[in-house]
Amino acid sequence: MELVCPAGSPAMLRAAVDAGADAVYIGLKDETNARHFSGLNFNDRQAQKSLRYAHDNKVKVFMAINTYAQPESIQHWYDAVDLSADLGVDAIIAADIGIMDYAASKHPATNLHLSVQGSATSIQALEFYANEFGIKRAVLPRVLSLPQVKQLAAGSPVDLEVFGFGSLCIMAEGRCFLSSYVTGESPNTFGACSPGSAVRWEETPTGRNSYLNGVLIDSFGENEKAGYPTLCKGRFRANGNQFHVLEEPTSLNTLQIIPELEAAGIVAIKIEGRQRSPAYATRVVKVWREALDDFQQSKSSFTVKREWMEALGSVSEGAQTTLGAYSKPWQ
């Protein structure tokens, strides 16, 4: 299986390539991708240089243009598609059917992948994107259990990529507008959940508070690790108790189901985290490279090493990992 790794900057791209990625995914410095944060992403020149570095090392580059275009500024999305095709990316990752239509008709030689933001969970949805836009691959949303992934893979008209590691949210990919209720901006249209300009920290006598556009998201104790203020991971008061009402901060980790994913015919494993650091890329990609290579050698005797879990645990949200929706024992 191909290891698809995040690159939020040229330095992170180099780190991912050097650590053993088979492919990296990047975004441009505007609202056309779902990680539109200041200081992140690539301008034309950086993209060109980074692409050369990746290709020189036989690593593919995918361009995420995976937000939903807005009528008044749709030219930004078209420009992003044109630039990506000119740069010679190995695929464009898109979700908006208007943008897919533009890419498919204007640049038929450029591969198209359906973004996780497209949230395709049925054979019919995959067939639609394959028939209408000729997508080569779809990234499955993180709402599916392992049996459901297997079922889709058995009948999919296109290659499938799944998430293997990284931060989880409440898993309404392409459909969550929580952030826009508080900041006016959501990942789907603007590319940013909890945009940095709306974030404020306040030191308190007992620790620190985090705010999003003036709304208290969490209060942390003195020695508690403070997470970025994300609405779905805030601690709110409900029924007289203050707790993670929607979801506890945690990261997905699927090392233990590598054999089942491969047996199902999954072609690629995606690592989340373009907003993280080059050091994160190095650590996570190294572990996954080693694990996938180890699996290729050992196959049926493959076991997850404790040091891999520890290394991934140390960069996980809330220092805890889960199999997420892959494991739904009640189904």
Answer yes or no whether residue 311 interacts with ligand SF4 by CB under 6 A: no
Instruction: Scan for tokens 């076991």, then name that residue.
Output: 303
Q: Using the minimum distance from each CB to ligand SF4, give the nearer residue, 10 or 191.
A: 191
Nearest to 3 by CA among 297, 313, 293: 293
Answer yes or no whether residue 213 interacts with ligand SF4 by CB under 6 A: no
Answer yes or no whether residue 193 interacts with ligand SF4 by CB under 6 A: yes
Q: Using the minimum distance from each CB to ligand SF4, give the nearer residue, 166 or 187.
A: 187
Q: What b/e sequence results for 56-95 when a residue is b if at least 16 CB atoms lie within 10 Å of its CB, and e otherwise?
A: eeebbbbbbbbbbbeeeeeebbbebbebbbebebbbbbbb
H or E segment at 129? helix 123-133
| φ, ψ at 88 (rounded to 5°) | 85, 40
DSSP letters for 181-201: HHHS--TTTTS-SS-GGGEEE
Answer yes or no whether residue 3 interacts with ligand SF4 by CB under 6 A: no
Closest approach of ligand SF4 to the CB of residue 72, in Å? 23
H or E segment at 320? none
Which residues lie below 8 Å from residue 119, measured CB to CB, with a gap of 6+? 95, 141, 143, 173, 174, 175
Closest approach of ligand SF4 to the CB of residue 139, in Å? 15
Q: Please select the residue that binds ligand SF4; options are 232, 264, 287, 291, rule is CB under 6 A.
A: 232
Closest approach of ligand SF4 to the CB of residue 217, in Å? 10
Structure tokens at 284: 């996570």
Answer yes or no whether residue 230 interacts with ligand SF4 by CB under 6 A: yes
Answer yes or no whether residue 89 interacts with ligand SF4 by CB under 6 A: no
Note the Cα 156 to chain centre separation in Å.
Answer: 21
**Residue span binding ligand SF4 (CB under 6 A) among the ranges 59-67, 79-87, 224-232, 262-270:** 224-232
**Residue span binding ligand SF4 (CB under 6 A) among the ranges 51-59, 112-120, 227-235, 267-275:** 227-235
204-to-212, 216, 222 alpha-carbon distances in Å: 16, 13, 9
Closest approach of ligand SF4 to the CB of residue 233, in Å? 7
- Which residues in 159-188 contact ligand SF4 (CB under 6 A)? 169-170, 172, 176, 178-179, 187
Answer yes or no whether residue 231 interacts with ligand SF4 by CB under 6 A: yes
Which residues lie below 8 Å from residue 113, measured CB to CB, with a gap of 6+? 62, 91, 92, 93, 94, 135, 136, 137, 138, 139, 161
Closest approach of ligand SF4 to the CB of residue 121, in Å? 17
Q: Using the minimum distance from each CB to ligand SF4, give the nearer residue, 175 or 305.
A: 175
Count residues near ligand SF4 (CB under 6 A).
Answer: 11
Closest approach of ligand SF4 to the CB of residue 191, in Å? 11
308-to-34, 203, 326 alpha-carbon distances in Å: 28, 35, 20
Q: Using the minimum distance from each CB to ligand SF4, give the nearer residue, 90 or 185.
A: 185
CB 258 within 8 A of CB 221: no
52-to-135, 152, 260 alpha-carbon distances in Å: 25, 35, 34
Q: Using the minimum distance from each CB to ligand SF4, give the nearer residue, 10 or 174.
A: 174
The CB-nearest residue to ligand SF4 is 169
Q: Using the minimum distance from each CB to ligand SF4, give the nearer residue, 156 or 186.
A: 186
Other Cβ atoms closer than 10 A to 282? 17
CA dihedral 188, 273, 36, 78 (to 10 degrees): -70
Q: Using the minimum distance from each CB to ligand SF4, give the nearer residue, 178 or 258.
A: 178
Residue ranges that bind ligand SF4, judged by CB under 6 A: 169-170, 172, 176, 178-179, 187, 193, 230-232
